[in-house]
Structure 1
Amino acid sequence: MKITILCVGKVKEKYWNGAIDEYMKRLGRYCKPEIIQVPDEKTPDNAPPAVEEQIRITEGERILAKWDESAFTAALAIDGEMKSSEGLAELIEKKTVSGVSHIQFVIGGSLGLSEAVLKKADYHLSFSKMTFPHQLMRVVLLEQIYRSFKIISHEPYHK
């Protein structure tokens, strides 16, 4: 199984990179993990809605340029379906059993995902109604994917 996180922007903080590296290493026992980053757009302070929409469109085009058409794609979206850790594990396991060999998770930039990306995704996943920094969401997503594989493998993992 290949797991890709397709995301906007680079992570600059060492503490986030350390956590990302740790979960990428741990995931290597269960799948082939990869992170594909596309450049983010600078958002001016107090940008009008039209400028924000153009930023989402530009970042969305960059995401779509790296999109793997053969992958099952889950976009992280605030209005997506919320799942428990066991529910995410069940989703990953069902996709694996049904012959899916690549799952792609998409994380948008600070303004979220474009409508084109959301429409193209196979599934919308939400971690909360709250908004989180996209750098933190990489860590949370990686941890939950790792937890999912531990659940699927019936291996203990702290609760």
Structure 2
Amino acid sequence: MKIILCSIGKGNDDALKSSIEDFSKRISHYYPVEWKIIPTNKIKSGLSEKELKLKESALILQNLKKEDYLVALDARGSMVSSADMASWIASRANESVKQLLFLIGGAYGLDESIIRRANFVWSLSPLTFPHQLVRLILAEQIYRACTIVKNEKYHHA
């Protein structure tokens, strides 16, 4: 199974970049991993929130394959513990999912069409975080899940 971490917006902030890369490298010891950043700077000008979300959803759908297992990160999603996420990821691997794609939306979140397309909608927290920080939290939580599955030292329950 390949893990794809996808985010709408600009590239990684320099202050967080090395930490995101570090956790991504750690994940690669368990699964192939790739980041896809979908820039939207060319479509933002003069659009309403709804129009922007529709344009972003079109870009997202262009980057999705029919067989991709899509996890949409959204405040309306399910909150799960790190241990439960570990079991959940292991189950996707056991189901022979080829690509597990985690999606972080743009500044206004994800369009309803993306939420409907998602196989799972996950909320990291009821709090609101900057998108750059969500990238780091996501990478760390996926790494944590991998170590839990392998019963390694990183996670302390």
Output the TM-score relative to the length of structure 1.
Answer: 0.90
What are structure 2's unaligned runs of at least 5 residues?
A: none
Amino acid at match of 1:91: W
1:20 aligned residue:
20
Give the Cα separation in 1 of the matches to 2:25 and 2:137.
Answer: 15
2:61 aligned partner? 64
- Separation (CA, whole Å) in 2 of partners of 1:12 and 1:71: 24
Conserved? CA contact 1:4–1:102, under 8 Å = yes
Q: Which residue of 2 aligns with 1:128?
A: 125
For residues 71 and 12 of structure 1, do their structure 2 counterparts lie closer, same or farther at Cα, with a shift above 3 Å needed? Answer: closer
Select which of 74, 86, 89 maps to 2:86: 89
Supply the RMSD in Å over aligned alpha carbons.
1.7
Give 1:110-129 correspondences, 5 Å limit.
Answer: 110-129=107-126
Question: Which residue in the other structure is 2:36 paired with?
Answer: 36
| Superposition deviation, residue 71 in structure 1 | 1.8
Opposite residue 31 of structure 1, the aligned amino acid is Y
Structure 1 residues 25 and 61, CA, compared in 2 at 3 Å: closer, same or farther? same
Deviations 1:35-90 (A, max 9, x none): 1111124767xx9xx81111111111111110122121110010100001001101
Alignment-mate amino acid for residue 134 of structure 2: M
CA distance in 1, matches of 2:13, 2:91: 35
Structure 2 letter corresponding to 1:152: V
TM-score by length of 2: 0.92
Q: Give deviations 1:22-46, integer Å, cap 9, x for gaps.
A: 11111111111001111124767xx
**Which AA in structure 1 matches 2:125?**
S
How many residues are matched?
155
CA shift, 1:153, in A, is: 0.7
**SS of the counterpart of 2:106?**
coil
Instruction: For 1:124 and 1:58, locate their aligned partners in 2 and report how far apart those are by CA, in whole Å.
Output: 20
The share of aligned pairs that are identical, in percent, is 33
Task: Structure 1 unaligned segments of length 5 or more: list them.
Answer: none
